[in-house]
Structure 1
Amino acid sequence: MKGIVLAGGTGSRLDPLTRITNKHLLPVYDRPMVVYAIDALREADVSELMLVTGGEHVDDFRSLLGDELAYGEQEQAGGIAEALGLARDFAAGERLVVMLADNVFGGSIAPTIRNFGRQETGARVLLAHVRETDHLRHLGVPRIEDGRIAEIVEKPPDPPGRLAVTGLYCYGPDVFDVIGALEPSSRGELEITDVNNHYVRAGMLEHDVFEGYWGDAGESIEAYYEVIERVRRPHFASDRTRPIPLRRFGDARGWLTEIARTSGLPKPIRQTNVSFSRKGTIRGLHYHERGQDDLFVCLQGKARVVALDRDTGETFSEDIGEDNFAAVYVPGNLAHGFEALTDVLMLYHVTEEYDPADPDEHGIAWDDPRVRDLWSTTSPILSERDSGS
C-alpha cells in the first residue's frame, strides 16, 4: 500500500501567511505542517510516499523532506481529485492511502488503514466528531442511514449529522478511472467529494470514526492557531472529551454489550474499576497531572458526566446510561466527575494503574462556578474528600 500526501492549493484562506510560502510549510508548533501527515502515515506503516504540490514549491519540499519521497507537480489549483490523479504512475496499480497535508490527527490512523487492508474492494474514509454547527457548514458532512454513508454533502447549510469527512481517504487503483470520468464543479475543480460519492452510489464506501482530536490547520487563520494550541498541549493525543456510542444486543435471554473499543482510544487501558452510587451522589471533580485518562460507562441506571478544562473554562456534560448507551472518554488533565441521576453502576477504565503510595489525584470543588449549573442537584451526597475539595 502506498501513500499520497496532497500539499497543493493556493493557501488563500491563510493569507497573508502564505504570500511567500506554501501553507503546508508553515510551522505548527515545533515542525512544519506537512510533517504531521508524513509522520502519521509512516507510523501506520505506509512508508512509500509521494507528495503532490504546486510546481513552484517542489524544491522547497524537497529541501525539507529529501529524496525519500517521490514528488508530483500540479500546474495549477485544479482540486484535490485532480492532484490525486497525478499519482497514477506512482501508484502502479497498488492500493492507496491519501492524506491532505494540512490535517492533524491526535492519535493513530493505523486502525483505519488496517481496516482498509481487510476490505476487498471500494474505498474507505475517516470521519471525525464536530460539535459546532457553523464549523460543519464548511466541511463535507455524511448523511448516514442504517450505519452506512448514504451521501456526502459538501458545505451543507443544514448539516445532516455531527460527523465530518476528514482528509484521510483510502482507494483502490480504480480511483484513477473514477477521477477520469469526473466533470469540473462550479469552481472549475475536480472535487474529492464527487469521488467519494461515486463509491457511495456503488455501495462501496466504508468508513471509520476517529475518536481523537482532528484539526484542519489550513481551514482558516483561526483554525491554524487553534491546531497549534492543541498540538502544544502535553496531552495532545487525548485532550478532547467525547461520547463514544456502544452497541448492545438483546433477545429473550437478556443482552450482550460492548464496553470499550481499544483500537479507537489514544492510550491503552491499564486498570478497570466498578462503583455503585446512590441517586444524588456526585463523585468529583478530579483531575490527573501525569496523564491518566478515564473512560466512563454507565452499566445500570443513568449518570451525568461533567468535565472542565481548567485552562480555558470550557465545559462538557453528557447523560449516559438508560437512554444513551455510550462511553465518555475524558482526558485526565481535565477536571471531571459524574452525578448519579438514579442509583447507578458505573464502570470506568483508566490508562494508569492506581498507586496508593503516590496517587495522581487532585480536586476541584463540585460547585465551582464554572460547572455548578451543570448538575441536577444542589445538595449532593459527597465523600469526605470531595466535600472538602
Structure 2
Amino acid sequence: MKALILSGGTGSRLRPLTYTGAKQLIPVANKPILFYAIEAIREAGITEIGMIVGDTGAEIERVVGDGQAFGVKITYIPQEAPLGLAHAVKIAESFIGADDFLMFLGDNLVRDGVRAFSEQFQTSKPNGMILLSRVPNPQRFGVAEIQGGQVTRLIEKPKVPPSDLALVGVYLFDRSIFRAVNEIAPSARGELEITDAIQHLIDHGYRVEAHIIDGWWKDTGKPEDMLEANRMMVENIMPSCDGTVDQHSQVIGRACIASGAVIENSVIRGPVVIGANAVIRNSYIGPFTSISEGVRIEGSELENSIILQDTVIEHIPTRIDSSLIGKNVHISKVIERPKALTFVLGDNSRAEVQ
C-alpha cells in the first residue's frame, strides 16, 4: 500500500500567513501540521508517499526533504493548479500504479492516527473506504449516508443533513478510483471533486465502506481551527526542560522548553511549548501557547496563542489572547508622545484594539 498526501492548497482562509508560506507548514505545538500526517502514515506501516504540491512545492520539499528523516520515501507530484482533490488522484496514477493507497489531506490532524483505518480496509477489501466522525454541526461538512455498513450517498454541506457523519479528509482506495476520476465532470466551481468520484463508485456498483473514529480530529483551514488544534496537541506534551530557567521564574504545570531557550523573571503556566533559543523576560506565558524558535517576548503577557519563529513582542500592556502571529513580526508599545496606533498589515489581516 502507498499513500498520497495533498499539500497543494493555497490556504486562502489563513491569509496573510499563507502569502509567504505553505499552510501545511504552519506549526501546531511547534511542529508543522504536515509532519503529523507523515508520521500517522508511517505508523500505519506505509512508507511510500506521493506528495501533491502546488505553488509552495519548493518550500515543502526544502522542509520535508526526501522523507528519510521520517523513515519514509517521498515522491513529489506537482499539480499545475488547485483543480480539486479528484484531480490530485488523477495525476498520481503513475505513482500509485496497481497498489491500494491511502489519501490524506495535509492540513488535517487525526489525533489517534490511521492505523486502525488502514487495517480495516485491508481486512474488508472494499473498493473504497472513507474516514468519518460524528459532529454537532454536519451542515458545515461533507456528510455521508450509510445503510448496512456501506456508504450510499455523499452530500456536500447539506441544509438538512441525513446524518451527523462528517468526512474527515482521509480516504482509502483501490485502483477503481482512477476510472471514477477520469469519468466525472468538473463541479460548478471548476474542480474535480473527490465526493463526486466516490459517489460515481457507489452509483456503478462498487463497494464503499466507512470507518467511524471516536477520537479528535481537526481540519486546520481557519485561524480558529489552528488554535483549537494547537490546544489539543499541546495538551498531550511531555514536560521537559533543556533550556535555562532562572531562580526568579516559575514554571507551573506541563511545559516543554527546548534547548537554548532562556526564561528570566517570568511565569510559565502550562501546557506550553517554547522553542529553541526563545527568550522570555519579565513576562507571563499562559496555557495552550506555542512559541517557536528564536522568538523574544519581553514585558508582555500572552496565552492560547501560536507565535511563529523570530517574532518579537515587547512591552504590550494588554494580555494577548487567541492569536496566530507569523514569522519575523515585531509588536511593541511606543512610549513617546503623542500616542498613536501604527500598523503595517498585509492583505486580509485582522487587528483588534481595545
TM-score (norm 2): 0.63
Number of residue pairs matched by the alignment: 233
Q: Structure 2: 5+ residue runs without aligned partners?
A: 68-73, 239-286, 289-354
Deviation at 1:83, TM superposition (A): 1.2
Letter in 2 for 1:22: A
Show the counterpart of 1:353: none
CA–CA distance in 2 between the matches of 1:206 and 1:31? 32
**Contact 2:126/2:208, CA 8 A, preserved across alignment:** no
Deviation at 1:72, TM superposition (A): 0.6
Show the counterpart of 1:207: 210
**Contact 2:4/2:101, CA 8 A, preserved across alignment:** yes
Deviation at 1:156, TM superposition (A): 0.8
Corresponding residue SS for 1:18: helix
Alignment of 1:67 with 2:66, yes or no, is yes
CA–CA distance in 1 between the matches of 2:31 and 2:52? 19
Letter in 2 for 1:139: F
Q: Structure 1: 5+ residue runs without aligned partners?
A: 237-310, 313-389
Letter in 1 for 2:143: V
Pick from 181, 184, 193: which aligns with 1:182? Answer: 184
Give 1:307-318 correspondences, 5 Å limit.
none
CA–CA distance in 2 between the matches of 1:106 and 1:120? 25
Pick from 195, 198, 221: which aligns with 1:196? Answer: 198
Deviation at 1:203, TM superposition (A): 4.6
Letter in 2 for 1:12: S
Show the counterpart of 1:80: 85
Show the counterpart of 1:337: none
CA–CA distance in 2 between the matches of 1:178 and 1:146? 23
Corresponding residue SS for 1:46: coil
TM-score (norm 1): 0.57
- What per-residue deviation string (whole Å, max 9, x for no partner) do you get for residues 34-59 of structure 1? 111111100100111110010x3222
Letter in 2 for 1:26: I
Show the counterpart of 1:305: none
- What per-residue deviation string (whole Å, max 9, x for no partner) do you get for residues 248-293 of structure 1? xxxxxxxxxxxxxxxxxxxxxxxxxxxxxxxxxxxxxxxxxxxxxx
Pick from 124, 127, 130: which aligns with 1:122? Answer: 127
**Contact 2:202/2:208, CA 8 A, preserved across alignment:** yes
CA–CA distance in 1 between the matches of 2:147 and 2:212? 15
CA–CA distance in 2 between the matches of 1:208 and 1:116? 9
Show the counterpart of 2:117: 112
Corresponding residue SS for 1:45: coil
Give 1:168-317 correspondences, 5 Å limit.
168-201=170-203, 202-218=205-221, 220-234=222-236
Deviation at 1:121, TM superposition (A): 4.0
User: RMSD of the TM alignment (CA)?
Assistant: 1.8
CA–CA distance in 1 between the matches of 2:173 and 2:30? 31
Show the counterpart of 1:29: 29
**Contact 1:2/1:91, CA 8 A, preserved across alignment:** yes
Query: Per the alignment, do residues 115 and 174 of structure 1 end up closer, same or farther by CA in structure 2, a change over 3 Å counting?
Result: same
Corresponding residue SS for 1:67: coil
CA–CA distance in 2 between the matches of 1:116 and 1:224? 30
Letter in 2 for 1:120: K
Give the % identical residues.
Answer: 33
Letter in 1 for 2:77: G
Deviation at 1:235, TM superposition (A): 7.5
